[in-house]
A = this chain, B = another copy of it.
Amino acid sequence: MKIPPVKGTRDFYPPDMAVRNGIIDGWKRASIRNGFEEYDGPIFEHLQMYQIKSGDEIVEQLFSLEDRGGRALAIRPEITPTLARMVNQRINSLSRPIKWFSVPRLCRAERPQKGRLREFFQWNIDIIGVDDVLADAEVIFTTVDYLREAGLTAGDIRVKMSSRRLLAAVLRSIGIAEAELDSLYVLLDKKGRLPAETFKELLAERVSDVGTASRIEAFMEASSVSGVRQAIGAAWNDEVAEAINELSQVERLLKEEMGVGEYCQFDPCIVRGLAYYTGVVFEVHDIVGELRAICGGGRYDNLLGDFGGGAIPATGMGMGDCVLEILLAEKGLLDRQISGGGLDYFIVFVPGLKFDGPGDVASTSRGQAVRLTARLRGLGRSADFSYKAAGVGKQLKQASERNARECIIIGDELRRGKLVVKDMSTGEQRLVGMEEFLSQLKP
């Protein structure tokens, strides 16, 4: 019986796995050098967890299941609710700031398309317990620090930043009612992905006053933090000024102190789809602009409270592997993510060759190959040999396919206790005593 894989999932054959490991190792390295510690939660949680704050889109895309007791569960579509649960559970014993990262496997029942799969990996970094824009800047710096190490330059990508606080202040200042903010965010978040006319129509449906709607549009077209004043004109007030000041501080930190200003720009169209953001928000986009956002994040000061904890400030970022991998491939950077690979030694035996001399050399060339391989592995070296009694030439070819750095040939020389060691990059061969060779390999 032949059964296909589930649509929208991926099989990782060894070459695909090498790419996935390369990307995830890069995420982990960047997290660790920026001072984050790794955590993880279960692959499923109670379904309710995702009905609190994840936003309608995610709730619709849940893979839900039941346990044997009939409890409603769901495979995690994001890890932030788990993070909130875990932090709340130990809020009194965790030392602050909580600076954590994770690389969860997530599932969403989306229609599979370019850069969107039903199952993917997402790098998450979060700083909890710090009510200072320095933490927002740290999250953005760490994101750029990874992307830069992966080989992406300021000519390839751009961090687009704005602030929910600023957006809320502007919308309030021009007369939008508090109760309408959340649903307006959802629309404004889609501006970049909708045709200009469609956006205009949808905005007019929600904001009937033409002057108010055009002010919103003017704000969303502001190209710098300082340009906001001009865009909103008379609606300027202290609340807006404070939000602007906060965002300017983030810009200054990223540029002056952290040296990544060239990657960053203000963009008031950045709103983020998720309901829980409260302050600075950002997304990273490819400059060509053909792909979805590479990642997104921001401040979510109320989320831990929403999950039954105290009011604790928090800010974070999530980056999926799908869009990133497409961009790295487009830029020819995929190969450089892959590290290591290849065997230290491939042991070649001479089929049919028998040793029956005195001393410890007994049995066959093949038996000696098995024996030497086991000893090399015991010394921590990667080593392998052919399970088939193929000719020496064929075995050397196999060694080369396996990217072995050296081949060790067990030939007649072993009667004198010697091995032939062949350097696979230069082709040079040398004759060494077996025990001498092994004693030089430190465990």
Are A39 and B17 closer than 8 Å at their CB atoms? yes
Q: Which of A213-221, A371-379, A427-435 contacts B (4 or more CB under 8 A)?
A: A371-379
| A88 interface residue per 8 A CB criterion | yes
Q: Which of A89-97, A267-275, A325-333, A410-418 contacts B (4 or more CB under 8 A)?
A: A89-97
| A384 interface residue per 8 A CB criterion | yes
| A258 interface residue per 8 A CB criterion | yes
Cα of A100 to Cα of B17 in the assembled complex, Å: 11
Q: How far is the CB of A4 from chain B (nearest CB, A)?
A: 7
The one of B17, B18, B85, B257 that contacts A371, using a Cβ cutoff of 8 Å: B257
Which residue from chain B places its CB closest to the CB of A106 in the assembled complex? B43
The one of B44, B109, B132, B382 that contacts A32, using a Cβ cutoff of 8 Å: B382
Which residues in B have their C-beta under 8 angstroms from that of A7? 67
Cα of A14 to Cα of B100 in the assembled complex, Å: 8
| A41 interface residue per 8 A CB criterion | yes
- Interface 0/1 of A121-134, CB less than 8 Å to B: 00000010010101
Q: How far is the CB of A410 from chain B (nearest CB, A)?
A: 12
Which residue from chain B places its CB closest to the CB of A369 in the assembled complex? B257
The count of identical subunits is 2
Q: Which of A45-53, A156-164, A204-212, A234-242 contacts B (4 or more CB under 8 A)?
A: A45-53
Are A63 and B52 closer than 8 Å at their CB atoms? no
The one of B4, B42, B45, B308 that contacts A1, using a Cβ cutoff of 8 Å: B308
For chain A residues 13-59, which have a beta carbon within 8 Å of chain B?
13-14, 17-18, 20-21, 29, 32-35, 37-46, 48-49, 52
Which residue from chain B places its CB closest to the CB of A118 in the assembled complex? B67
Q: How far is the CB of A311 from chain B (nearest CB, A)?
A: 15
The one of B37, B86, B402 that contacts A11, using a Cβ cutoff of 8 Å: B86
Cα of A92 to Cα of B368 in the assembled complex, Å: 32
Contact count band on A: 35 or more
Are B35 and A17 closer than 8 Å at their CB atoms? no
Cα of A420 to Cα of B41 in the assembled complex, Å: 40
| A68 interface residue per 8 A CB criterion | yes
Are B370 and A258 closer than 8 Å at their CB atoms? yes
Given contacts A132-B387, A382-B33, contact A258 B9 (CB under 8 A): no
Are A73 and B6 closer than 8 Å at their CB atoms? yes
Given contacts A33-B377, A130-B387, A382-B34, contact A5 B253 (CB under 8 A): no
Are B12 and A378 closer than 8 Å at their CB atoms? no
Are A67 and B6 closer than 8 Å at their CB atoms? yes
Which residues in B have their C-beta under 8 angstroms from that of A375? 259
Q: How far is the CB of A384 from chain B (nearest CB, A)?
A: 3
Given contacts A46-B3, A75-B65, A377-B145, contact A41 B14 (CB under 8 A): no
Cα of A443 to Cα of B411 in the assembled complex, Å: 44
Q: How far is the CB of A234 from chain B (nearest CB, A)?
A: 36
For chain A residues 394-438, which have a beta carbon within 8 Å of chain B?
401-402
| A343 interface residue per 8 A CB criterion | yes
| A119 interface residue per 8 A CB criterion | yes
Cα of A14 to Cα of B44 in the assembled complex, Å: 19
Are A45 and B13 closer than 8 Å at their CB atoms? no
Are A109 and B67 closer than 8 Å at their CB atoms? yes
Q: How far is the CB of A247 from chain B (nearest CB, A)?
A: 18
Which residues in B have their C-beta under 8 angstroms from that of A9? 41-44
Are B257 and A374 closer than 8 Å at their CB atoms? yes
Given contacts A1-B307, A11-B41, A257-B370, contact A67 B73 (CB under 8 A): no
| A135 interface residue per 8 A CB criterion | yes
Which residue from chain B places its CB closest to the CB of A94 in the assembled complex? B13
Q: How far is the CB of A72 from chain B (nearest CB, A)?
A: 10
Cα of A34 to Cα of B385 in the assembled complex, Å: 10
The one of B3, B63, B344, B370 that contacts A253, using a Cβ cutoff of 8 Å: B370
Which residues in B have their C-beta under 8 angstroms from that of A378? 145, 148, 259
| A105 interface residue per 8 A CB criterion | yes
30 contacting pairs across A/B (C-beta < 8 A): A2-B308, A3-B46, A3-B49, A4-B46, A5-B85, A6-B42, A6-B71, A7-B67, A9-B42, A11-B41, A11-B82, A12-B40, A12-B41, A13-B39, A14-B38, A14-B100, A29-B380, A34-B377, A35-B383, A35-B402, A43-B43, A43-B105, A65-B75, A67-B109, A68-B109, A105-B105, A130-B387, A134-B387, A141-B377, A258-B370
